[in-house]
Amino acid sequence: MLAINYRGPQRVRVSHKPMPEIKHPEDAIVRVTRSCICGSDLHLYNGNVPDTRVGMTFGHEFIGIVEEIGSEVHKVKVGDHVLVPFNIACGKCHFCRQGLFGNCHESNTQATAVGGIFGYSHTGGGYDGGQAEFVRVPYANVGPTVIPTGMDPDDAVMLTDVVPTGYQAAEMAGIQPGDTVVVFGAGPVGIMAARCCWLFGAGRVIVLDQYEYRLEFVRNYANCEVYNFKEMDDPVVFIKKITDWMGADVVIDAVGAEAAGSALQTITGRKTLLQAGSATALHWAINSVKKGGIVSIVGVYGPTDNLVPIGNVVNKGLTLRANQASVKRLLPRLIEHVQNGILNPKALITHRIPLEEAADAYRMFSSKLDNCIKPVLIPPSARM
């Protein structure tokens, strides 16, 4: 089968790999029909995630058709069209029982903080992902969800990560009616987070990024104020200035380890890897939220240390909330929101690209070329 094959930083190739096989009675094999590239894949692509092994297939945002099931799979059957949450979760452990499906204690033997994630290095459990023609889906009675009849596949694939992550960013922010929210990052996740803040009663939503085309998109999509941080001396002072010098009530970090905006952070976090990615957006978030405020972090950072202004967290009495999105917990509500037209995730998909051209797709998404917001890879069998 065709699959993405990681060859080292900034090098992915599409090559032939052996077909995945059922290894456990609760496994399923899914024939992929759509698979997105995510900002999280860029941390892998840029070599910022430890133990990303040559030969790995990335891809944690995919939908497809069940091709084969193990003897103990009863929730889905061969031929079902399913969307598969990016978290791999057992459904039974202490954490899964609390709805913390991103923190499953069983699905990732390589780490204690995060559960398994499709196509996300050996620190994410070592599972191959869905940027391929076929993928093995463990715990198939837990994750895969039959796509409701009539749902557009482009909406369905966005429900595997971007929609729940944006929604959870807003949910964790504890927004009170009328609150001023600042979202750092106008990628797919930040765009969806900004849109979802209104569902929680925000009174004002402000988004910062460096790309005009993304700011333009989010201004229209999420009906929010937008500013380009490249045009500011100091984004923290700017935010204080436009919030009566109080700071925002809540701030969402939808940027993570690839953040731009500080030479020191970029050199130590992205070029020399002396810390686990650049924590620029996190600095700005902590310093621009008002005292007693909440910082909600969905931007991904590496497992090793970051230079973070923890002293200011203490002195300002902040609440930090962060996690991988618990996709399965949020799906029932979000499927309804899509079906009722409250959320329109497929509008974020700007590029449909054959799987065979994945290397070009990565280059384009990574360098933010051609006004790209969200690219989706389509394997040959789904294009017939």
Interface residues toward ligand NAD, by CB under 6 A? 38-40, 42-43, 161, 165, 184-190, 208-211, 214, 229, 254-256, 259-261, 280-281, 298-300, 324-325
Interaction pattern, residues 215-254, with Zn ion; x per rule: CB under 5 A: ----------------------------------------
161 binds Zn ion (CB under 5 A): yes
Instruction: Give 143 or 269: the residue with its C-beta nearer to Zn ion.
Output: 143
Instruction: Give 39 or 235: the residue with its C-beta nearer to Zn ion.
Output: 39
Cβ 208 to ligand NAD, closest distance in Å? Answer: 5
- Which of ligand NAD, Zn ion, none interacts with 93 (beta carbon under 5 to 8 A by kind)? Zn ion
Task: Pick the binder of Zn ion from 40, 168, 265, 306 (CB under 5 A).
Answer: 40
Is 225 exposed, middle or buried, given 0-12, 13-18 or 19+ CB atoms closer than 10 A? middle
CA-nearest of 281, 286, 275, 297 to 247 is: 286
**Phi, psi angle pair for 29, to nearest 5°:** -110, 130
Cβ 149 to ligand NAD, closest distance in Å? Answer: 27
Cβ 216 to ligand NAD, closest distance in Å? Answer: 12
Task: Pick the binder of Zn ion from 14, 63, 96, 159 (CB under 5 A).
Answer: 96
Cβ 271 to Zn ion, closest distance in Å? Answer: 24
- Please, which residues have CB within 8 angstroms of residue 57's CB and are 6 or more apart in sequence? 3, 4, 5, 6, 17, 119, 128, 129, 130, 131, 132, 135
Instruction: Give 93 or 308: the residue with its C-beta nearer to Zn ion.
Output: 93
307 C-beta neighbours (distance < 10 Å), count: 16
106 binds Zn ion (CB under 5 A): yes
Instruction: Give 248 or 325: the residue with its C-beta nearer to ligand NAD.
Output: 325
69 C-beta neighbours (distance < 10 Å), count: 24
- Please, which residues have CB within 8 angstroms of residue 333's CB and are 6 or more apart in sequence? none
Q: What is the CA radius of gyration of the chain?
A: 20
E strands present in 24-159: 28-36, 62-69, 81-84, 87-88, 116-117, 134-137, 145-146
90 binds Zn ion (CB under 5 A): yes
Query: How many angstroms separate the CA atoms of 217 and 350, rounded?
Result: 11
Cβ 373 to ligand NAD, closest distance in Å? Answer: 7
Instruction: Give 119 or 299: the residue with its C-beta nearer to ligand NAD.
Output: 299
